[in-house]
Amino acid sequence: MSEELSQLLCTVAKNQQKFLDLGNYALQALPKKVTEFAPCLEKLNLGQWYIDKQQWIKSPLRSSPNRFFNLKFIQQLTSLKEIYLCESKIANIDLSNLTALQEQNQSQHQVSNLNLEALKQLEILFLNVDRMTNLTISNLPKLKILVLIANDLTNIELVNLPQLDTMIISTDQLTQANFCQLNQLKEFYLCANYLTNITFSQIVEAKQFYLKAKKISNLHLKECKNLEILDLESSYATNVVFSHLPILQEISLASQRVANLSISQLPSLLSLNIENSQITNLRLDSKEVEVAKRSKKIHKIVQQTQPKQRIGQLQPSQIPTSISST
């Protein structure tokens, strides 16, 4: 153990500090001394990023990134509310005893399984993992934000997440998904290039929906009557039903292939982005245009916009840190 790390642990223990940043100390195991102040410790960073005051902070490069082989003492830190494992290079970690945990950030490439059901206080979960093909996230009654970046994922089950408000999913191998039980979901970002079928029949509270999926041909959103923003940029959904969306204000079809587009049944529409789109038939009859001009409901049809960063390229500093106010 380095002198700097030894002094840090002594200071945290002496002052009964609630936060301990162990990022970039070239650790292979969790120091046993950490257990001496376990009752006071509420926030622990073992990776390269953590959140402070709703901002992502990069841990100083003190030595080199941690590469953990042993976290056996982690189960004794039962007062932990937040843990950050971003790029900590650990394959398996058992957090089942940390029942006070409210926020978990795990970004690595070797995870084979996760046991989260005991974390009943968990509110924010950020997972960036490879080599995981099946994932079930269930029975987390307080989970509000889920960020999942998992390129090898082929199957995902989301069950009994009654408070889930914001969800970001990016995966290349997922072919089917059912999001019918997410009744409270308000913001949904989905990047799944091989997804062929998607169901939204019970996501009635959704206000913002962002989709990138090249294999989906039909998209029915008529049940999403609270939808305000719809972004289908770079998707290939040729048959999209836009009717029955009374408060939809923004649509982006940039780089999209749509056979027919009519906005006559979108009374609240304010913005339409059709940059680089292949639209066979754009129906804007003269009466509709005059009504739009007079009421100023459609104040822009965007031809050029800055490209959005792909979900899979998001850095920790670009991930939500708090619940949306929408």
What's the number of domains the chain is made of? Answer: 1
Identify whether the C-beta of residue 147 lies closer than 8 Å to the C-beta of residue 311: no
The mean pLDDT of 252-268, rounded to a whole number, is: 72
Identify whether the C-beta of residue 183 lies closer than 8 Å to the C-beta of residue 201: no
Higher pLDDT, 314 or 204: 204
The mean pLDDT of 191-207, rounded to a whole number, is: 75
Measure the CA–CA gap between 65 and 72, rounded to whole angstroms.
19
The mean pLDDT of 292-319, rounded to a whole number, is: 44
Q: What's the pLDDT score for residue 310?
A: 41
The mean pLDDT of 202-208, rounded to a whole number, is: 81
Whether 311 has a pLDDT exceeding 70, the answer reads no
Higher pLDDT, 37 or 312: 37
For residue 325, being part of any structural domain is answered with no
For residue 322, being part of any structural domain is answered with no
The mean pLDDT of 209-233, rounded to a whole number, is: 80
For residue 13, being part of any structural domain is answered with yes
Q: Which residues constitute the domain of residue 106?
A: 3-304
CATH of the domain at 214: 3.80.10.10
Q: What is the pLDDT of residues 70-93, one digit of tens each?
A: 677 888 999 999 998 877 767 667
Q: What's the pLDDT score for residue 305?
A: 33
| DSSP designation for 118 | T
Q: Is 8 helix (H, G, I), strand (E, B) or coil?
A: helix
Measure the CA–CA gap between 170 and 190, rounded to whole angstroms.
6
Residue 286 corresponds to which amino acid?
Answer: S
Q: In terms of C-beta density within 10 A (0-12 exposed, 13-18 middle, 19 or more buried), how is residue 72 classed?
A: exposed
The mean pLDDT of 37-58, rounded to a whole number, is: 87
For residue 218, being part of any structural domain is answered with yes
Could you tell me which of 200, 243, 203, 197 has the C-alpha nearest to residue 218? 197
Higher pLDDT, 281 or 179: 179
Residue 157 corresponds to which amino acid?
Answer: E
Q: How far is CA 304 from the centre of its chain?
A: 27
The mean pLDDT of 162-183, rounded to a whole number, is: 82
Identify whether the C-beta of residue 320 lies closer than 8 Å to the C-beta of residue 166: yes
- Rg of the chain, C-alpha, whole Å: 23
For residue 199, being part of any structural domain is answered with yes
**Tokens representing residue 241 in the block:** 């039903």
**Tokens representing residue 205 in the block:** 């509270």
Higher pLDDT, 251 or 172: 251
The pLDDT-based confidence of 130 (bands split at 50, 70, 90) is: low
Q: What is the pLDDT of residues 263-295, one digit of tens each?
A: 667 788 888 887 777 666 665 555 445 444 434
Identify whether the C-beta of residue 95 lies closer than 8 Å to the C-beta of residue 77: no
Measure the CA–CA gap between 70 and 147, rounded to whole angstroms.
26
**Tokens representing residue 305 in the block:** 């916009």
For residue 129, being part of any structural domain is answered with yes
Higher pLDDT, 257 or 50: 50
Identify whether the C-beta of residue 94 lies closer than 8 Å to the C-beta of residue 111: no
Q: What is the pLDDT of residues 224-247, one digit of tens each?
A: 888 999 888 766 665 666 677 889
Identify whether the C-beta of residue 150 lies closer than 8 Å to the C-beta of residue 191: no
The mean pLDDT of 116-127, rounded to a whole number, is: 86
Q: What's the pLDDT score for residue 285?
A: 53
Whether 142 has a pLDDT exceeding 80, the answer reads yes
Whether 196 has a pLDDT exceeding 60, the answer reads yes
Measure the CA–CA gap between 108 and 111, rounded to whole angstroms.
7
Whether 318 has a pLDDT exceeding 60, the answer reads no
For residue 267, being part of any structural domain is answered with yes
**Tokens representing residue 106 in the block:** 């795990």
Q: What are the φ and ψ backbone dihedral angles of 175, each rounded to 5 degrees?
A: -110, -25
Q: What's the pLDDT score for residue 112?
A: 57
Residue 212 β-bridge partners? 191
Higher pLDDT, 211 or 130: 211
Could you tell me which of 176, 106, 155, 166 has the C-alpha nearest to residue 316? 106
Measure the CA–CA gap between 167 and 158, rounded to whole angstroms.
11
For residue 321, being part of any structural domain is answered with no
- Pairing outcome for strands 82-84 and 103-107: parallel
